[in-house]
Amino acid sequence: MKFIHTLLFTLFTCGSIMATDMSVRIFSTMQMNRASFTAMLGQYKVLGGEQNKITDLSIGESVVLELTKEHTIQVKKDGNILGIYNTISFEGIGVKALFMLSPMPNTERKERYYDDHLDVDVVDNNLCFFNIVDLENYVAGVVQSEVRGISDKIDFYKIQAIISRTYAITHLRKHSDEGYNLCDNVHCQAYSSRNNSPIILTATVQTMGQVLVDTSNDPISAAFHSNSGGQTVNSEDVWVTAVPYLRSISDTFSLSGNNAKWEKKMLISEFFSVLEKKFNYPVNDKIMRDSALTFSQPNRKVFFPAHIPLKNIRTVFNLRSTFFDVERVGDMVVLHGRGYGHGVGLSQEGAMQLVELGYNVGDVLRFYYSGTSLKDLSESTTEDLEE
C-alpha cells in the first residue's frame, strides 16, 4: 500500500471527543480495475498523488478511474485523460457531500452511495476504495445495511445504532496493519451504502455518541446476530475468550422470529463422508455413528460427538447456526435447527420482540449484555479510545 489512510481523526476540545472520521474499505470483497465516481450532493475536489489538484466535480459530474499496466490510476473526465497517479482522493466540500461509486462494467456489481470522502489506492493489482467517513454517518449506513425495514419501531433502530457504534469504536484497529480501520464485510459490519431511511437517521441522531461500556468503563465488544434460537452463546464457545457481558442466556423472545427455525437435509452417506473427510470421524464405529445420528441439544452444546467443535460443524456444512438436532429419516439425515448466526450477544429478532412488548432501549441492552451501561463519547478522551 502506497500510503496509510486516515486511521482515526479526532477533533477534541478539552480532551473530549467531538467528532470522529474513520477509514472504511468498501467493495472489499471485489476485484475491480475500473470504476466511475459521481458527485451526487455538494462538490468534490479531486486530488492526485501528493495532494495535487486534478479537477473539481459539481453535482452530477463524474470521472472514470482505470488501473494501468504500471499499477497506477488513470483519471478520465468526459473521455479526456486528466492524468495518471499512484493514489487519488475525493475530498467533499461543504456541509454535506454524497457520492456514487460504480463498478465498470456495471453488471452484477451495482453502484453504491456513500457520505463524505473517498481515497483510492492500488493494492495487489487491484483498485482499492476507502470511504473516509464521519462515525455517525458510518453508523447510520451500517444500521441500514444490517436491518433496514425489519421493524417500524424507532427504539429498535436506536439499539442497533448504539451497538453498531460501540462495535466500531472497539474495533477501530481491526485492519490497522493494512492502513485502515474497518471494512464493509460482515466480519467487521455490513456497510453496503449510506443511510437514506428517515427512521434510522432519527435513531442515529438521538443516540449520537452513545456506546455500551463494561464495569471498567471501557467500550464493549458488542457482538450481535440475527436470531439466538432461544438461547445465546458464551463468547468463548465461538471466539476462545470468555467475556463477562457475553454470557449464554435463555432468550424466549427470539422464538417467534422469522429466523427462529431452519432445516437441512442430506443423504446419510454424504453426512458421514463429510464428517470422515473433514474431521476424521470414526464412521465405522457403530456407537459413534448412532451418536451422530441421534445428536440433540435440549440446551446449547459446544461439541458434536468425537469432541468436534460445533462451530466447525456449522462452517463445513454451511449451517445457519450451531443449535440443531439430528434425525434419521430413511436414508436421509435431517438437521432441525434453531436460530441464525454465531449466537453471541444481542439477538436482533429477540430485541425486536422485546421492543414490541414495551421494553425500553436500556432494558434490552442490559438483557443481552449483562453488567453494561451506556456512556456518551463526549465524556471520553482520545486516550480512552486509543488504549
| Residue 220 DSSP SS3 | coil
**pLDDT of res. 19:** 52
pLDDT block averages, 10 residues each, the chain of length 387: 46 43 93 95 92 93 95 95 95 94 80 96 94 96 90 95 94 90 91 95 96 94 95 95 96 96 98 97 96 97 97 97 98 98 96 97 96 84 47
**Cis omega (within 30 of 0) for bond into 105:** yes
Q: Outline where 259-319 has alpha helix (H).
A: 268-279, 286-293, 310-317
Cβ atoms of 244 and 224 closer than 8 Å: no
User: How far is Cα 210 from Cα 369, in angstroms, rounded to an integer?
Assistant: 15
**Residue 6 near residue 138 (C-beta atoms within 8 A):** no
For residue 380, the model assigns a pLDDT of: 58
Write the DSSP assignment of 111-167 as a string of letters. -EEEESEEEEEE-SSSEEEEEEEEHHHHHHHHHHHHHTTS---HHHHHHHHHHHHHH
210 forms bridges with which residues in the sheet? 376
Q: Which residue has the cell 490510476?
A: 73
307's CB contacts (< 8 A; 6+ apart) are none
Q: Which three cell numbers stand for residue 215?
A: 464495569
In sequence order, what are the residues at sequence separation of 6 or more whose Cβ sits closer than 8 angstroms to the Cβ of residue 212?
162, 163, 166, 219, 220, 222, 365, 369, 372, 373, 374, 375
Q: Where are the domains of the chain?
A: 8-135+178-182, 261-338
pLDDT given for residue 108 in this prediction: 66
Cα separation, 365 vs 328, whole angstroms: 40
Collapsing DSSP to helix, strand or coil, 244 comes out as coil
342: left (phi over 0), alpha (psi -120 to 50) or beta: alpha
